[in-house]
């Protein structure tokens, strides 16, 4: 399964209208086969994450970005099912607090980057500062323009210090978003998910598509690649992301630390 087809090569220009949100090229057999493969990947990820935690040297940062209803929460539930909560943290970034606004925009993010042996999932991230602030004109253009350089160097520093970085843009269609928003209105148990603010953001769909394309183009690097993940089919979204994470963790030859010498002579009374 070559999930690397969704990787944004450094230096290339992304056009999101050239990426099919309903693509399922890597599992044309369909949903049931995809769910079977996902189960295998979940079990493999569970072992790899435990090994990462036990080894206690390397770090993993996973960035999830998407339009509203893109599936960030569902991805966290489905992809990381079975992993050890002791070694996995989820950090969500909403509207900055007064304290956060008093610091540079990366301050609140840097505090949540993973420590040794840990995996951190960013549900939204530092990329909000070249997306929301751009679309809504919260800062002048020269300010958010120079942030691309800041972000590349910030991620390079993390990578240089032993962090594996994977960034996923969950790419949904405007029609799919409409259907998901409608389902939140139609089903009482989903009402808590609905906000009129989502409708306001939807009115800026085209501007967000341009902003995302620029961010993906300008910040996909060898040390922190972006992947444009087809996200209209939930099962396929989970499958692609799981495969990419497992593949990344298998590359560094993770292993459990060596046991203490002489354990074979230990007798427990």
- DSSP string for residues in 212-230: HHHHHHHH--SSS-EEEEE
Cβ pair 167, 65 in contact under 8 A = yes
Residue environment code for 240-261, b if the CB has 16+ CB neighbours within 10 A, otherwise e: bbbbbbbebbeeeebeeeeeee
- Residue 4 — pLDDT band, cuts 50, 70, 90? confident
Task: Give pLDDT, residue 128.
Answer: 97
Work out the number of other CB atoms within 10 angstroms of the CB of residue 147: 22
User: Mind listing the domains of the chain with CATH numbers?
Assistant: 3-252 (3.40.50.300)
The answer to which of 1-5, 101-105, 180-184 has the lowest mean pLDDT is: 1-5
Q: Does the reported pTM lie above 0.75? A: yes
Over the stretch 224-261, which tens digit does the pLDDT of each residue have?
A: 999 999 999 999 999 999 999 999 999 777 777 767 76
Over the stretch 58-67, which tens digit does the pLDDT of each residue have?
A: 999 999 999 9
Over the stretch 70-95, which tens digit does the pLDDT of each residue have?
A: 999 999 999 998 899 899 999 999 88
Over the stretch 126-137, which tens digit does the pLDDT of each residue have?
A: 999 999 999 999
Tokens of 10: 């450094």
Cα–Cα distance for residue pair 80/241, rounded to 1 Å: 10
Task: Give pLDDT, residue 44.
Answer: 96
Cα–Cα distance for residue pair 67/92, rounded to 1 Å: 15
Task: Give pLDDT, residue 202.
Answer: 96
Task: Give pLDDT, residue 263.
Answer: 65
């Amino acid at each position: 399964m070559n999930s690397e087809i969704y990787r944004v090569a450094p230096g290339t220009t992304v056009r999101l209208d050239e990426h099919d949100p309903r693509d399922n090229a890597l599992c044309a057999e369909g949903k049931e086969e995809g769910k079977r493969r996902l189960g295998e990947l979940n079990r493999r990820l569970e072992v790899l994450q435990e090994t990462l935690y036990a080894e206690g040297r390397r770090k993993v940062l996973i960035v999830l970005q998407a339009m509203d209803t893109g599936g960030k929460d569902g991805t966290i539930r489905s992809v990381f099912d079975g992993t050890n909560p002791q070694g996995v943290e989820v950090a969500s970034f909403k509207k900055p607090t007064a304290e956060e606004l008093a610091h540079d925009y990366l301050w609140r993010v840097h505090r949540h980057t993973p420590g040794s042996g840990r995996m951190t999932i960013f549900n939204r991230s530092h990329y909000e500062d070249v997306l929301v602030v751009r679309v809504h004109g919260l800062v002048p253009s020269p300010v958010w323009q120079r942030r691309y350089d800041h972000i590349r160097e910030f991620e390079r520093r993390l990578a240089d210090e032993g962090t594996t970085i994977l960034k996923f843009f969950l790419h949904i269609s405007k029609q799919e978003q409409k259907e998901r928003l409608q389902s939140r209105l139609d089903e009482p148990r989903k009402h808590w998910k609905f906000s009129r603010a989502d409708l306001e953001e939807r009115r800026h769909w085209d501007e967000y598509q341009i902003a995302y394309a620029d961010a993906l183009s300008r910040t996909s690097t060898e040390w922190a690649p972006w992947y444009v993940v087809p996200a209209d089919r939930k099962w396929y979204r989970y499958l692609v992301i799981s495969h990419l994470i497992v593949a990344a963790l298998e590359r560094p030859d993770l292993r459990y630390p060596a046991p203490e010498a002489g354990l074979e002579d230990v007798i427990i009374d």
